[in-house]
Amino acid sequence: MKAAIDAVSLAADLIRGSEYVVAMTGAGMSVESGIPTFRGADGIWSRHGQPSANSYAEWLEDPDAFWSSERRRRVEPWIVELRETLRQAKPNEGHRALADMEDSGKVMSVITQNIDGLHQDAGSKSVIEIHGSRHKMRCVDCGDRTPRTTLFIDSPPPPCIECSGRVKFDSVLFGEPIPQVTLQAARSESDRADCVIVIGTSTSVKPAGGLPRIAKANGATLIEINSSETPLTRSCDAVIRGTAASVLPELLERLLL
Ligand code: NAD
Ligand code: ZN
């Protein structure tokens, strides 16, 4: 217990001593909102198997066949589970504490790998969704984003109204490049940061997972909040072993003292 409290104090000191603090979040951020991670012992893929690692190429090659197979997959257990958890998910105390940190000027922005939209639901304003959002559709030709009303889509969406280009859901598929504008925004935030709080991510998915290391190489301090050790742990200046929903409110309280 004492070690954890010391780690929170150390993290609070690092944040207080920094000018531009950025948070980076992964699937662990939303576990206490009921959304499981993909990887790891309780991960959806560990229990139900990993989907095709080629999905973007499949979509590009034959969008009609891709949407048909999406429609068939709607009844697969892991898709049913993900759909239900996403539908029901609400921001947790960790999301709310991060939004309060932004409100009070302690954190400048959040770069998230999550597609669930829970940071915005909690009140965070400056959010970069590096893997897209489940609430949006996107044209891969001009990048135009439009709201998405249903979680699973039966047929290929109509061409983009801006450029007649190819439209898919905004969440990135396996093998899909991160849209350049999003990647640049994330890089520019992490380049600006002199402190990065890395929360609930194994940092194994690239390029998002590489950003904390780039920030560290540029002189930023790193704070890790994660329930388990990660490949990034050894590079961190403060490591808080705990869950996002329990640690972040405690960190916020410490910052507001
Ligand atoms: P990951 O599954 O590789 O790693 C999750 C990390 O969270 C692990 O390091 C684990 O120890 C940690 N963790 C688990 N529960 C935690 C908790 N309560 N508090 C703090 N840490 C906790 O996840 P990833 O690195 O984010 O990569 C998986 C990819 O899948 C991401 O790109 C993400 O886009 C996507 N994904 C998104 C969601 C979502 O939108 N909520 C959910 C699952 C996966
Ligand atoms: Zn377009």
Give residue-wise pLDDT tens across range 80-125. Answer: 888 888 889 999 999 999 999 999 999 999 999 999 999 999 999 9
Looking at the chain, the whole-number percentage of residues with pLDDT higher than 70 is 94
The finding on whether 133 has its CB within 6 A of some atom of ligand 1 is no
The finding on whether 28 has its CB within 6 A of some atom of ligand 1 is yes
Q: How far apart are CA 187 and CA 191, in angstroms?
A: 6
The ligand that comes nearest to the alpha carbon of residue 202 is: 1
From the CA of 35, give the closest atom in ligand 1: 41
Which residue did the predictor score with more confidence, 215 or 148? Answer: 215
Which of 29, 31, 38 should be mutated for ligand 1, with most atoms under 8 A from CB? 38
Q: How far apart are CA 189 and CA 167, in angstroms?
A: 28
pLDDT digits (tens, 9 = 90+) for 229-242: 999 999 999 999 99
Domain 5-34+91-134+171-255 has CATH 1.10.3210.10: no
The ligand that comes nearest to the alpha carbon of residue 26 is: 1
Average predicted confidence (pLDDT) for the chain: 91
In this prediction, residues 60-89 reach a mean pLDDT of: 85
Span of 29-33, 45-49, 188-192 with lowest mean pLDDT: 45-49
Cα 37 to middle of ligand 1, angstroms: 5
Span of 40-44, 123-127, 154-158, 205-209 with lowest mean pLDDT: 40-44
pLDDT at 2: 44
Q: Which of 2, 3, 13, 1 is nearest to 237 (CA)?
A: 13
- Contact partners, residue 143, CB within 8 Å, separation at least 6: 179, 180, 181
pLDDT digits (tens, 9 = 90+) for 27-44: 999 999 999 887 777 777
Q: How far apart are CA 212 and CA 237, in angstroms?
A: 12
Catalytic residue flag (residue 135)? no
Q: How far apart are CA 84 and CA 80, in angstroms?
A: 6
The finding on whether 50 has its CB within 6 A of some atom of ligand 1 is no
From the CA of 25, give the closest atom in ligand 1: 26
From the CA of 134, give the closest atom in ligand 1: 40
Unique residue bearing structure tokens 């489940």? 134
Q: What is the domain partition of the chain in residue ranges?
A: 5-34+91-134+171-255, 44-87
Which of 30, 37, 112, 178 should be mutated for ligand 1, with most atoms under 8 A from CB? 37
- Contact partners, residue 149, CB within 8 Å, separation at least 6: none
Q: How far apart are CA 246 and CA 174, in angstroms?
A: 32
The one-letter code for the residue type at 205 is V
